[in-house]
Amino acid sequence: MKAADGQVKPEVYNTFTKSPCASMCMGTEFWRNKYAGLAAQAFNALGVDGIYMDQACSSLACFDPSHGHAIGGGTYWMGGFKTLASEIRQRCVPRGGPALAGEGCGENWLPYLDLMLSLQVSHERYAGPDGWETIPFFHAVYHGYGVFYGNYSSLTMPPYDELWPDKFAPQEPLKLLDRKFSRQFYLEQARAFVWGQQPTIANFRPSHLKDRAEELAYALRLARIHARARQYLLHGELLQPPTVDVPMAELEMSRLSIYAGQQGGLKEFRKTFSPVLAAAWRAPGGAVAVAVASISDQPLAPSLRLDTGAYRLPERGRIYRIDEGVRKQVGDWRGKIAMLKPDLAPLDACLFELQP
């Protein structure tokens, strides 16, 4: 990809070696053939199930006249990506083709990608206290058209590649983080759960099942509930969130790169959050449920207020709780407002299904 002055603009990702990389133009047949060939080799020869397409949700302006596309802006980038995705799937037809996963979220890529990387659930971990609050805006619009995954939620310091300079190597690779940051881990997992993302964890090691059993039990609990409630959390439509009445809590947070930029080390700060996260969902058949996750290590009794008219529900019905192993009736509602007052155990999670 060439800039307006005709020069390649290098991008440096490795903070140790400073080795430059260059973005490739999606409007060139050469690069599409190269990329599709690599993807087909990985799928057909190595047996992978999916291809992660880095920078897939990025569109750049290329000014190279020899590429045969419009100079600068235009539709050639998306047209080229559409052709690339089709070429990959055609070359991998014997097994139905791989799942194609992109980086970030972008509406133009929805027809061509199976998965979109959504790391904003870990905003504090990679951005620190920058004044922004993360909301599931893209999910609210497009959850029914794409599958979102990804999380920087980690229990360790970032990994270190043995090919990087020895002087920067940590004394203890993948050292466990202090337990005071555990609630940040819970927050990231809970956001992904209630916002309908695929369960994801970073830098997992089997030893964590013993060394950090409580944190892993929480992540696994959310994954099991997600698997039982896919009609909502995978295939559903994100609705207006319920009003949650519960005392706020202050959390210890870490600002810590998940990649190579470790020279700065771990930075700490505190931030105030609701200890109970909740989101409302409508399944394809019309049923409505509220996903709830507590990140507190203490029992809580929050009040959740739902406007049944906004959810297109009648003025009476039953409320069922869905957790890892059971669905049971826990109450009912009458009128235009449904009130949920669950007794949540420490680190509890569930769905409340509203049945007319």
pLDDT tens sequence across 105-159: 999 999 999 999 999 999 999 999 999 999 999 999 999 899 999 999 999 998 8
Do 38 and 181 belong to one domain? no
| Pair (31, 180) in one structural domain | no
Q: Compute φ and ψ for 41, nearest 5 degrees.
A: -65, -45
The amino acid at 244: V
349 and 200 co-located in one domain: yes
Q: Which of 94, 117, 140 represents a domain boundary (last residue)? A: 117
Please indicate, yes or no, whether residues 211 and 319 belong to a single structural domain of this protein. Answer: yes
Does the pLDDT value for residue 264 go beyond 70?
Answer: no
Assigned domain for 140 exists:
no
Question: Is 54 found in the same domain as 192?
Answer: no
- How many domains does one find in the chain? 2
The single-letter DSSP state of residue 123 is: H
**Residue 130, domain member (yes or no):** no
What residues make up the domain containing 237? Answer: 158-356
Q: Give me 36's structure tokens.
A: 């599709």
Query: In whole angstroms, how large is the CA radius of gyration of the chain?
Result: 23
| pLDDT tens digits, 66-100 | 999 999 989 999 999 999 999 999 999 877 789 99
List the structure tokens of 43.
């799928």
211 and 111, same domain (yes or no): no
Domain co-membership, 178 together with 327: yes
pLDDT at site 257: 74
The per-residue pLDDT for range 193-240, each reduced to its tens digit, is 999 999 999 999 999 999 999 999 999 999 999 999 999 999 999 999
Choosing from 60, 91, 117, the residue where a domain stops is 117
Is residue 126, in this structure, part of any structural domain at all? no
Residues 76 and 27 sit within 8 Å (Cβ to Cβ): yes
- Is residue 132 a part of any domain in this protein? no
CATH code where residue 240 lies: 2.60.40.1180
Domain end, chosen from 54, 85, 117, is at: 117
Return the pLDDT at 262: 58
- Please check whether residues 170 and 289 belong to one and the same domain: yes
